[in-house]
Structure 1
């Protein structure tokens, strides 16, 4: 991928990036997060409403791009089965939402882990 298509994708609105995320994740069968040196995942808490979310990306390139300038963050992949079996229940128990594919603008599609799982499973069944 050249940086031009990446930039175009990052400039999509939140809903378009969400749809792109679903199709890419189904293609690759993995979700990308950022972790620090201690293997702790990046969690973002909104200053406005205090909602905590786990940002996720459809590829290592997008996650790495988001982490530019942060020395201790690196992309880590989670297989789709692992995400469904371990992460969705864990995030739900911790009261964490999922921020799907942060982009160039300030909009972000935030969803409940179970909702994202359902959307991915719906897409999988028609894949």
Structure 2
């Protein structure tokens, strides 16, 4: 694990969220875990959560415990914004950014879209 990955994983969840927004805008991609279907989990109230990471290396760290056999899979940012966000909104799903040992920021699709669009205005 390289130094950047180690340092980011240790950041508080809110700082990792900011990192996620910047990196996703930079590289125009989002990473999920996939194995015949996308990795999902639930919060303590039973809400469906879909976990996402800004880079393959971060997703790789999570395919061992809860999602053994899942592989990181890239989603182009345009597809994420145009298809995924409306789909998750329709499903009532929430998004878990940087899922690690239940330590992640959970946001509504609209909030993530708003934050991404705001960051993309800088490009």
Q: Distance in 2 between matches of 1:118 and 1:78?
A: 18
Q: Which residue of 2 aligns with 1:82?
A: 79
Q: Which residue of 2 aligns with 1:22?
A: 21
Q: Which residue of 2 aligns with 1:118?
A: 114
Give the number of aligned pairs. Answer: 122
TM-score (ref. length: structure 1): 0.89
1:25 aligned counterpart, secondary structure? helix
Give per-residue Cα distances to partners, 1:57-110, cap 9 Å, x unaligned: 00011101111254420011111110111101111111100001124x643100
Q: Which residue of 1 aligns with 2:99?
A: 102
TM-score (ref. length: structure 2): 0.92
Determine if the alignment matches structure 1 residue 49 to structure 2 residue 48.
no
User: What residue ranges of structure 2 are gaps of 5+ in the alignment?
Assistant: none
User: What residue ranges of structure 1 are gaps of 5+ in the alignment?
Assistant: none
1:7 Cα offset (Å): 1.4
Q: Which residue of 1 aligns with 2:11?
A: 12
1:49 Cα offset (Å): 1.2
Displaced runs of 4 or more, over 3 A = none
